């Protein structure tokens, strides 16, 4: 058995370019000799090659439209030894994200999908909106502390990338921005997701990458004149204070007696006076628990 010739026909070429799909059709004729098995001819016609012209293979890109690829090859007998082969090119994407976007270009050129939302959760509070401590009439803190609903601003971005580096992505998990990011000052943004899923269009392999960035200002810290952001924040209070004369920590005594509740401190380890406590003065300690990294590498 042998393929005598493979010829491309130019009279019935078709192409269609729309918002939802682009396609093109090329037509070939394949001529066989008589020394073969007729049952095999449709199968052989799909990949026929006479040494000069051949039938394009599945996933092969169009010679003039790089984002059209072979999605179907259909041989049809028109004579005992002559077959027509219709080669269908398409840009039907293989991912849900691409199904909702313009199909006629490179997936790497598609604009990112951007979504802003809020993540609402319950959080214990210890001060009111003006920074005053929430206490009973004896200026004692409530245990457990009262709870209100608060919200983080959430940014979700989905975009196509030529590559995905999992080691870089994991290094940014739970990291906060060390630089200004989308107008937000350092320490405000926190990376909670940087995931990638492989995808394919034609013979192009790429990655659909998802990002989630949460933004938080948190409570105002009067002592340092700044927002807590993603830092841990604790009321500065306890049962002992620093004695600069002895260079040691000593128990806080009121009227010569040990106190039964944590006493507010001044941010330097020294107990506030009874009047300062009655006036509602309080200090807080802030602790950095998230690594800081430049968010400029995200390319937003």
**Quick check: 101 pLDDT over 70?**
no
- The mean per-residue pLDDT over the stretch 97-106 comes to 52
Residues 221 and 174 grouped into a single domain: yes
Residues 146 and 294 grouped into a single domain: yes
| pTM for the structure as a whole | 0.65
pLDDT digits (tens, 9 = 90+) for 9-33: 887 666 676 555 678 899 999 999 8
What is the total count of domains within the chain? Answer: 3
Residues 247 and 225 grouped into a single domain: no
Domain assignment present for 100: no
Helical residues (DSSP H) of the chain, grouped into ranges: 41-46, 96-99, 166-172, 274-278
| pLDDT recorded at residue 12 | 61
Mean of the per-residue pLDDT values for the chain?
Answer: 85
Q: What is the DSSP letter of 265?
A: B
> What's the length of the chain?
300
State the burial class of residue 30 (Cβ atoms within 10 Å of its Cβ: 0-12, 13-18, 19+).
Answer: buried
Residues 169 and 223 grouped into a single domain: yes
| pLDDT recorded at residue 17 | 66
Domain assignment present for 25: yes
d(CA 192, CA 170): 10
Domain assignment present for 95: no
Identify the domain containing residue 18 by its residue range.
3-90
Residues 224 and 241 grouped into a single domain: no
Share of the chain above pLDDT 90, in %: 45
How would residue 66 be classed by pLDDT, with cut points 50, 70 and 90? confident
The mean-pLDDT minimum among 136-140, 231-235, 251-255, 265-269 falls in 136-140
| pLDDT recorded at residue 58 | 85
């Amino acid at each position: 058995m042998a393929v005598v010739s493979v010829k491309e026909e130019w009279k019935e070429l078709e192409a269609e370019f729309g918002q939802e799909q682009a396609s093109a059709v090329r037509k070939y004729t394949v001529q066989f000799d008589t020394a073969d098995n007729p049952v095999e001819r449709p199968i052989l016609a799909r990949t026929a090659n006479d040494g000069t012209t051949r039938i394009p293979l599945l996933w092969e890109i169009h010679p003039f439209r790089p984002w059209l690829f072979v999605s179907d090859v259909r041989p049809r007998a028109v004579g005992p030894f002559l077959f027509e082969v219709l080669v269908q090119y398409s840009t039907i994407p293989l991912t849900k994200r691409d199904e909702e976007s313009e199909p006629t270009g490179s997936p790497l050129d598609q604009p990112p999908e951007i979504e802003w939302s809020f993540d609402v959760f319950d959080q214990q509070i210890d001060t009111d909106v003006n920074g005053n401590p929430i206490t009973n009439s004896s200026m004692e803190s409530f245990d457990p502390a009262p709870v209100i609903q608060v919200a983080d601003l959430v940014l979700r971005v989905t975009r196509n990338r030529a590559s995905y580096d999992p080691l870089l992505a994991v290094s940014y998990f739970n990291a906060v921005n060390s630089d200004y990011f989308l107008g937000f000052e350092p320490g405000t943004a926190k990376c909670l997701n940087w995931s990638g899923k492989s995808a394919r269009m034609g013979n192009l392999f790429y990655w659909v990458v998802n990002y989630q960035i949460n933004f938080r200002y948190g409570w105002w810290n009067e002592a340092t004149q700044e927002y807590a952001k993603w830092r841990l924040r604790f009321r500065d209070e306890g049962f002992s204070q620093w004695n600069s004369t002895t260079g040691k920590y000593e128990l806080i005594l009121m009227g010569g007696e040990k106190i039964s509740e944590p006493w507010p401190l001044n941010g330097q380890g020294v107990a506030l006076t009874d009047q300062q406590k009655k006036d509602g003065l309080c200090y807080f300690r802030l602790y950095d628990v998230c690594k800081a990294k430049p968010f400029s590498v995200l390319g937003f």
